[in-house]
Structure 1
Amino acid sequence: MKIELPTEPTALTETRTAREILGWARELVEPELRAAAAGLPPSMRAPVWHHFGWDDDGGSGKAVRPALVLLAAQAVGGTVRPALPAAVAVELVHNFSLVHDDVMDSDETRRHRPTVWKVFGSDQAILAGDALLALSAQLLAGHPDQLRVLMSAVLDLVEGQSADLEFERREFVGAEECRQMAAGKTGALLGCACALGALAGGGTPDQIRQLGRFGEEAGLAFQFADDLLGIWGEPAVTGKPVFSDLRNRKKSLPVVAALASGTPEGRALAELYRSPDGLSPDELAHAADLVERAGGRAWSEAQSEILLGRALAHLRAATPRDRPHAELAALAQLLARRDS
């Protein structure tokens, strides 16, 4: 059955909620994503199907990045259909990073299900992630400008992930270098999603730049919110183990702020992080309390709000169409104030 795609943004009075936008994007992108994945080598299909939840109808994620691509195309006056390959490619890159991230962090669950490496082994998980990345490039092979934007973001993402791993081995990490790590690990791909959408939609160079900056700032706000969930998020909601980031001694944004606070709580947290043994459940709970009392939680929440304001300023500067303007703003607010 042919899917009818909207060709023009509708009136501002019909603006959807962020959840409705994500459902719309998922409905449009999911068939294209499955069609693209069908071209994977046979050995890669089982781990990829498992990761996306297609083997048990578990669902393939929220589709935040595809939604940004599609709305950015509409924001500059374009239509959805030409932006679909970019939306799928960005989602493939995002999932490549998740599969590899789970291997590096030894996380056993994602989206309430066993991770790929836990089911198929680390070697197969790494290869499955590589296959997803290659597939994303293949999708945009006929659009070299878009492909360059996407691969540039991948390099930034890899650099950010490398810094994240390095920080785990270092006793001290500065707040600014931690922000730079997060900008690469998360902000780059969200900025890329918005820039790709504007590019596919025929936006001006300034619109592409401003929407890219909007996505970058919203992405960094998202990382602050995500790092808070990595400590205080409920496993039943996040799909990841309780205190996941603390268990892995991650130098996440609230942790770095606490360690650099110069407070007794910050020094006590540093002692826990230096422990050669794994942290017990009681020690993990104590570490979370120390981060909060050292000011890491409040600082991260404040930074997320500041970044949201900057993102919305860049969005206004792109002079978008009314409805996609409102809907992109709604997505940015969801990212910065997420609870799941």
Structure 2
Amino acid sequence: MTEPVAAGVRTAEDVLARTRDLVEPALRHAVGTLPPSMRRVAGYHFGWWDARERPARASGGKVLRPAFTLLAAEGAGGDADAALPAAVAVELVHNFSLVHDDVMDGDTVRRHRPTVWNVFGRPEAILAGDSLLALAFTVLAGGGRPAESTRALARCVQSLLDGQSADLGFEQRADVSLGECVRMAEGKTGALFGCACALGGLHGGATAEQVAALRVFGERVGLAFQLVDDLLGIWGDPAVTGKPVHSDLRNRKKSLPVVAALTSGTRAGGALAVLYRRPLAQTDLPRAARLVEEAGGRAWSLARIDDLLSEALEALRSAELAPGAAAGLEALARLAADRDR
């Protein structure tokens, strides 16, 4: 049996390093089963090779969601090996969504390198994303409790797609409420974090009550993660995030800080609404960021992140998990709510 991910954990970085050591070989094996055309694009996206399939050392992401899965399983009394198919499936779904998001948003850079569609074209990127999604269910079906797991993941993907659809629809509307925007983020991001934790509990032998508490924990962490992501989409350092500065503003995204500002009833919020009625030039972006902050969008987001973290940790305590795994999950939650990339 593999050494527990939570064994001797001191920091969230310890957990992520051990998760990567476990998940990457299994992920590479799964991607290796894809048809050559899809394998080539997927391997590029994960940073394993360049567009000509020459070995590369690019970042493959944080493996945050799989870490939640593995620790949830250990916390419920199981082991990481049993939850590994679920962890790989969660990471595949996450990356399917990233490949498609970049196509829809027109983003040209991710993880400090050109996005998949920017290298291979939009049709190939869409197909590669579809391939990753199908592969996720194939991997999950080969693990324990396949019927329950696949149903849970399918519900999660539907929530994710609904959230992404709402996000795209908001770009064409001037009247998005803050409640609508929160519900969008709960589907687009919170659902997958919640599913990652619930699947871990399920594969670790958790009770129904523990699985429910783990799902709430993950959903709260996921919403906090999205808020941080939205803040970074406006004020993040491109050298750290790997994405262009003001990327969300350039796309006139109705992200949570933006909608909080637009619905604030302030003069700055009104000025931002006027600015958002037309495509933004590069010179408009710094002003738009300043207006979001002046209207209170940044302060509201930071306060809500704190509240969500408190709610998540309360749900985690109620799950009554093994202490080492619970400590690891808390460390991951705090990292998700306080990061620069």
Relative to the length of structure 1, the TM-score reads 0.96
SS in 2 for 1:292: helix
State how far apart, in whole Å, the 2-side matches of 1:107 and 1:335 are: 23
Q: Which amino acid aligns with 2:254?
A: K
Q: Is residue 53 from structure 1 mapped to residue 47 from structure 2 by the alignment?
A: yes
Q: Is residue 194 from structure 1 mapped to residue 197 from structure 2 by the alignment?
A: yes
Q: Is residue 5 from structure 1 mapped to residue 2 from structure 2 by the alignment?
A: yes
Q: Deviations over 1:156-177 (max 9, x none)?
A: 0000000000000001110011
State how far apart, in whole Å, the 1-side matches of 2:68 and 2:26 are: 16
State how far apart, in whole Å, the 2-side matches of 1:284 and 1:124 are: 31
Q: Which amino acid aligns with 1:302?
A: A
Match of 2:29 among 28, 35, 58: 35
State how far apart, in whole Å, the 2-side matches of 1:251 and 1:59 are: 28
Contact 2:5 2:70 in 1 (8 A): no
Contact 2:160 2:189 in 1 (8 A): yes
Report what 1:231 is aligned to: 234
Contact 1:8 1:78 in 2 (8 A): no
Q: Deviations over 1:210-234 (max 9, x none)?
A: 0011000000011111100000000
Q: Is residue 319 from structure 1 mapped to residue 320 from structure 2 by the alignment?
A: yes
Q: Which amino acid aligns with 1:21?
A: V
Q: Deviations over 1:307-338 (max 9, x none)?
A: 00000000000001101111100100111112
Alpha-carbon distance change, 9 to 19 in structure 1, aligned in 2, over 3 angstroms: closer
Match of 1:176 among 179, 192, 217: 179
Match of 1:250 among 248, 253, 259: 253
Identity of aligned residues (%): 60
User: How far did residue 8 of structure 1 move?
Assistant: 8.6
Relative to the length of structure 2, the TM-score reads 0.96
Contact 1:78 1:201 in 2 (8 A): yes
Report what 2:52 is aligned to: none
Report what 2:223 is aligned to: 220
Poorly superposed stretches of 4+, deviation over 3 Å: 7-10
Q: Which amino acid aligns with 1:51?
A: H
1:272-283 map, 5 Å: 272-275=275-278, 278-283=279-284
User: How far did residue 15 of structure 1 move?
Assistant: 2.9
Alpha-carbon distance change, 87 to 261 in structure 1, aligned in 2, over 3 angstroms: same
SS in 1 for 2:141: coil
User: How far did residue 16 of structure 1 move?
Assistant: 2.3
Report what 1:124 is aligned to: 124
5+ residue gaps, structure 2: 50-55
User: How far did residue 253 of structure 1 move?
Assistant: 0.2
State how far apart, in whole Å, the 1-side matches of 2:5 and 2:288 are: 51
User: How far did residue 46 of structure 1 move?
Assistant: 1.4
CA RMSD of the aligned region, Å? 1.1
State how far apart, in whole Å, the 1-side matches of 2:205 and 2:59 are: 32
State how far apart, in whole Å, the 2-side matches of 1:45 and 1:150 are: 23
User: How far did residue 47 of structure 1 move?
Assistant: 1.0
User: How far did residue 66 of structure 1 move?
Assistant: 0.6
Report what 2:76 is aligned to: 76
Report what 2:53 is aligned to: none
SS in 1 for 2:309: helix
State how far apart, in whole Å, the 1-side matches of 2:237 and 2:331 are: 24
Q: Which amino acid aligns with 1:188?
A: A
User: How far did residue 141 of structure 1 move?
Assistant: 1.8
Q: Is residue 44 from structure 1 mapped to residue 45 from structure 2 by the alignment?
A: no
Report what 2:139 is aligned to: 139
5+ residue gaps, structure 1: none
User: How far did residue 59 of structure 1 move?
Assistant: 2.8
SS in 2 for 1:57: coil
Contact 1:291 1:297 in 2 (8 A): yes
Contact 1:65 1:193 in 2 (8 A): yes
Match of 1:167 among 144, 167, 170: 170
1:96-107 map, 5 Å: 96-107=96-107
State how far apart, in whole Å, the 2-side matches of 1:259 and 1:172 are: 9
Report what 1:62 is aligned to: 62
